[in-house]
């Protein structure tokens, strides 16, 4: 009997995370496609999408924290909730200053959220399906740094921010499939 099968808490958490990760994949892809249509300027659609993304992250972290109580402390998820809420407000304010300001806020968020995702993934290794989350967290840190650096470019756009969601969504999809075994308790 594997350690996963011996722990109903892990099986329940894995099942809940699996469903959440499928939703996060779908949201990321739809959001990125919508964002690509408006990435060259800060019109009302772009502003709405830029504020919506961290708010969606808040909702996902709340669901994740509730699902994860049986398998460990959700303290880092609470950090992510706070950081994402602050980011939504920061992005809304930064939109008034232009794309470079948005990229700086978005980059700082990507770095902090990526670190949280990486650490949470490492602590959940026993559950299985977390290597994509660990890799995604590390990539998010690097992407965040590139957004901050890109804010100083001659003609910055939000295209990279839109593109940022696609690999993250794909990593959520891969992790969801990998969590299938843990969700079944095998």
For the stretch 19-49, pLDDT in tens is 999 999 999 999 999 999 988 889 999 999 9
CA distance 112 to 119: 11
Measure the CA–CA gap between 131 and 87, rounded to whole angstroms. Answer: 26
Token output for 17:
């995370």
pLDDT at 179: 81
Instruction: Give the pLDDT score at 7.
Output: 53
CA distance 47 to 13: 34
Closest CA to 103 of 57, 46, 60: 46
User: Rounded to 10 degrees, what is the CA torsion of 60, 66, 67, 69?
Assistant: 140
d(CA 182, CA 3): 10
- pLDDT category at 69 given cuts 50, 70, 90 is confident
Distance (Å, whole) CA 175 – CA 129: 5
Q: Do residues 99 and 157 make contact, with C-beta atoms less than 8 angstroms apart?
A: yes
Q: What is the pLDDT of residues 136-180, one digit of tens each?
A: 999 999 999 999 999 998 889 899 888 999 999 998 899 888 887
Band the pLDDT of 182: cuts 50, 70, 90: low
Q: State the helix-helix crossing angle for 8-36 and 44-68, rounded to 10 degrees.
A: 180
Longest CA–CA span in the chain (Å) reads 59
């Amino acid at each position: 009997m594997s350690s996963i099968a011996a722990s109903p808490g892990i099986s329940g958490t894995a099942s809940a995370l699996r469903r959440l990760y499928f939703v996060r994949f779908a949201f990321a892809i739809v959001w990125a496609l919508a964002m690509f249509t408006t990435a060259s300027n800060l019109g009302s659609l772009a502003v709405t999408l830029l504020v919506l993304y961290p708010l969606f992250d808040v909702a996902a972290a709340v669901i994740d924290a509730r699902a994860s109580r049986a398998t460990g402390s959700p303290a880092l998820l609470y950090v992510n909730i706070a950081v994402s809420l602050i980011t939504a407000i920061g992005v809304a304010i930064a939109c008034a200053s232009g794309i470079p300001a948005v990229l700086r806020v978005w980059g700082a968020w990507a770095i902090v959220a990526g670190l949280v995702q990486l650490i949470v993934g490492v602590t959940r290794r026993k559950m299985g399906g977390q290597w994509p989350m660990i890799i995604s967290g590390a990539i998010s840190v690097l992407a965040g740094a590139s957004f901050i650096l890109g804010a100083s470019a001659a003609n910055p756009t939000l295209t990279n921010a839109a593109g940022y969601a696609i690999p993250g969504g794909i990593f959520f999809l891969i992790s969801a499939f990998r969590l299938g075994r843990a969700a079944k308790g095998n």
